[in-house]
Amino acid sequence: MPHFPSEMATPDPVERVPVTEPSDGIPPIGQKVRIEEVAALAGVSPITVSRALRNPAIVSEARRKRIEEVVTKTGYASNPHASALKSGRSNLVAAFLSNITSQQYTAAAEGCAKVLEEAGYHLVIARTSYSYARETTLIRALMTMRPAAAFITGVMELEENRIFLRNLKVPIVESWAYASDPIDMLVGFSNTDGVQLVVDHLAEKGYRKVGFVGRSSGRGTIRLNAFLKGAEAAGIEIKATLTVANVQGIADGRQALRSMLAASPDMDAVFCANDLLGIGAMLEARAMGLNIPGDLAIVGFGDSEVAAEVPPGMTTVVVDAHAIGEKAGEMLLARLTGQKIERPSCLFPVRLEVRGSS
């Protein structure tokens, strides 16, 4: 239970940094300047200031310089709401993450935000994956902000929302899967191929009685189906499949492994459709005294930070989430700056990182 300060808690000596640096570049802070004043000081009209700021090339060298000086001196920053109101487009970019605490998605958001921020855009992050109704409400709410673009970590499933987003005519990047008909653009990888790498690897190593743990919706289904199909073709017997509803934590992985082994003690390998499940499975297997990979091989999907670190190292399909986010940011930016995108889809190749667990 939180409480209010009392003599019971010791204050932390927080270090404060006084303003020491000479104001080298950083404009004075805390003012409220309008474009009109900048214009007056620079001896031009407001619209010229506006142009100098958003499209310097079309303003004469001399005036541009003068304007820039005044902007720096006054610390002018344009009011994004006024700008958005008039132009119908803001400097916000909407990011829809199905899970805001997922390392993978936040890594992607981080990459995307970094690229966009350099161009003056800001990411508004929203969490979607609770229910379709909530997702719909959320998209509507965010889109009233007239974001300049949108980034979706995943593929929008609800047709109604796809249509809505498409109609907005803003650049949109979906991601994380190789969907054939993106709303607009796509930065993804083939889950199907990633899973196939796993199947091939397991087959080659001689594993024949395998289990599957994964989520039961969205991409979870893709990975499950790809696995079932691939395993059949490779002559691998599926001893057990276990899908967890919406969670993907380490604890779920532990639990899943325990259940599956109870039902099918003779499994020789388990494929976990994401790394956290895989790590849970590895920890549980070791706790049960199993030898990895001797008694049981374990393979994950996603290459989270821990995968390489959990002994003996978890074999996993590598997905560079940060790079996906960066690429998404670049594609959005290209569109926003009027460049033609010749290919609306960018695919990252999938790769299996083989480690000690298989």
Partner DNA sequence: TTGTAAGCGTTATCAG
Partner DNA sequence: CTGATAACGCTTACAA
CA distance 27 to 12: 31
Bridge partners (DSSP) of residue 152 are: 96
51, 64, 66, 162: which one contacts a second copy (CB under 8 A)? Answer: 162
Q: Minimum Å distance from CB 122 to a second copy?
A: 6
47, 65, 216, 311: which one contacts a second copy (CB under 8 A)? Answer: 311
| Contact (Cβ atoms closer than 8 angstroms) between residue 216 and residue 244 | yes
In this structure, how many other beta carbons lie within 10 angstroms of the beta carbon of residue 341? 14
All residues at 6 or more sequence positions from 356 whose CB lies less than 8 Å from its CB, including other chains: 292, 293, 311, 312, 313, 314, 315
Q: Which residue has the tokens 């691998």?
A: 236
74, 129, 221, 264: which one contacts a second copy (CB under 8 A)? Answer: 221
Q: Minimum Å distance from CB 46 to DNA?
A: 4
140 near DNA, judged by CB under 7 A: no
Q: How far is CA 56 from CA 48, 59, 101, in A?
A: 10, 6, 40
Site string for DNA, 221-260 (x = CB under 7 A): ----------------------------------------
Helix (H/G/I), strand (E/B), else coil: 150: strand
Segment 58-77, which members bind DNA (CB under 7 A)?
A: 58-60, 62-63, 76
328 near DNA, judged by CB under 7 A: no
Q: Minimum Å distance from CB 308 to a second copy?
A: 8
Segment 223-242, which members bind a second copy (CB under 8 A)?
A: 225-226
Bridge partners (DSSP) of residue 298 are: 270
Segment interacting with DNA, rule: CB under 7 A, options 11-19, 56-64, 155-163, 340-348: 56-64
16 near DNA, judged by CB under 7 A: no
49, 142, 172, 173: which one contacts a second copy (CB under 8 A)? Answer: 142
| Contact (Cβ atoms closer than 8 angstroms) between residue 271 and residue 238 | no
23, 31, 54, 291: which one contacts DNA (CB under 7 A)? Answer: 54
Q: How far is CA 326 from CA 54, 146, 300, 350, in A?
A: 23, 22, 24, 17
List of residues contacting DNA (CB under 7 A): 32, 34-36, 44-48, 50-51, 53-54, 57-60, 62-63, 76, 78-79, 82-83, 85-87
